[in-house]
């Protein structure tokens, strides 16, 4: 107990955690390929973590200057011994609490998240490119998040997905990592994903290989904002899909059950539920 107390006092006296704010912002910006701004950093010695306030991650410039992600607080797991002995800040985990993400799609069909991480894979693993700051993330988590998918026709409004939870384990830009997620869709449905992704390519996560199982229940196609309203698609679907991407092509197969389906613009919804098997092969470049 005495040793722990002395260690806590030493950290408090020897380390001004807020001095690492520019380093952390630069390291995160380098890893994400985006401008990153953060507020203050406060260190909790007993939990071995730091709290970063007012995180803002910039959008792809072609989509404007509105932030891609904002979060009032981010809990950062830190290695305390290097912090005291060598004044180096090593990040072990990141937990975004109640972040707000805005997804935008260009008229050509490109998404603003597709270039996230662009160029990060070119840095060697374990490198200290931001003032001797090493970044190894054993776990990256999002809790209580909100995702807004903006309409291509009307900026500033869109479909809101609530209660976003994402858990990424053993994250590295240069190797495969595990990912699991869950979100509540507009209208009260749910989507779950579980799989593997990586490595991140030089073009960003939009070209990243991945394979995953996706399960959905009560997903409202029209309110979800994933398809253009002019396509005339509608209905409430339950789905179980397996998806695999090479980074250039996405193959998907599984089963869907649709209620009140509408597959043709201007048509009336189907009167009976429809169940069918589904398979597609999608070329990302076109």
One pLDDT digit (tens) per residue for the chain, 286 residues:
656 555 555 555 445 556 667 877 887 788 788 899 988 877 765 556 678 889 999 999 888 888 999 998 888 776 666 655 655 556 677 889 899 999 998 877 788 998 888 865 544 444 444 444 445 577 889 999 999 998 655 555 688 999 999 999 888 778 899 999 999 999 999 999 999 998 888 888 888 999 999 999 999 998 888 777 778 889 999 999 999 999 899 999 999 999 999 988 889 999 999 999 999 999 987 7
| Alpha carbon distances (Å) from 57 to 12, 35, 61, 131, 197 | 29, 6, 12, 20, 22
Sign of the four-CA dihedral 237, 241, 247, 249: negative
Rg (CA), the chain: 21
pTM for the full model? 0.80
CB atoms within 10 A of CB 99: 21
């Amino acid at each position: 107990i005495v040793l722990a107390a002395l260690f806590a006092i030493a950290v408090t006296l020897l380390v001004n955690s807020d001095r690492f704010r520019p380093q952390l912002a630069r390291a995160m910006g380098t890893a994400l390929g985006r401008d990153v701004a953060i507020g203050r950093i406060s260190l909790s010695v007993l939990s071995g973590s730091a709290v970063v306030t007012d995180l803002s991650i910039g959008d792809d410039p072609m989509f404007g200057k509105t932030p891609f992600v904002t979060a009032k607080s981010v809990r950062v797991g830190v290695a305390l011994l290097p912090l005291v002995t060598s004044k180096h800040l090593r990040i072990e985990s990141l937990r975004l609490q109640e972040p707000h993400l805005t997804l935008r799609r260009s008229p050509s069909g490109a998404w603003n998240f597709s270039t996230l991480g662009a160029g990060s894979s070119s840095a060697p693993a374990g490198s200290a490119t931001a003032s001797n700051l090493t970044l190894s993330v054993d776990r990256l988590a999002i809790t209580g998040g909100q995702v807004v998918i903006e309409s291509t026709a009307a900026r500033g409004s869109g479909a809101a997905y609530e209660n976003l939870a994402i858990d990424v384990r053993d994250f590295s830009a240069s190797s495969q990592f595990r990912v699991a997620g869950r979100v509540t869709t507009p209208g009260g449905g749910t989507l779950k994903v579980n799989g593997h992704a990586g490595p991140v390519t030089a073009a960003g996560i939009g070209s990243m290989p991945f394979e995953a199982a996706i399960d959905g229940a009560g997903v409202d196609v029209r309110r979800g904002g994933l398809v253009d309203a002019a396509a005339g698609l509608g209905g409430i679907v339950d789905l179980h899909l397996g998806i695999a991407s090479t980074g250039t092509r996405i193959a998907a197969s599984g089963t869907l059950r649709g209620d009140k389906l509408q597959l043709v613009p201007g048509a009336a919804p189907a009167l009976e539920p429809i169940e069918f098997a589904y398979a597609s092969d999608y070329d990302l470049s076109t």
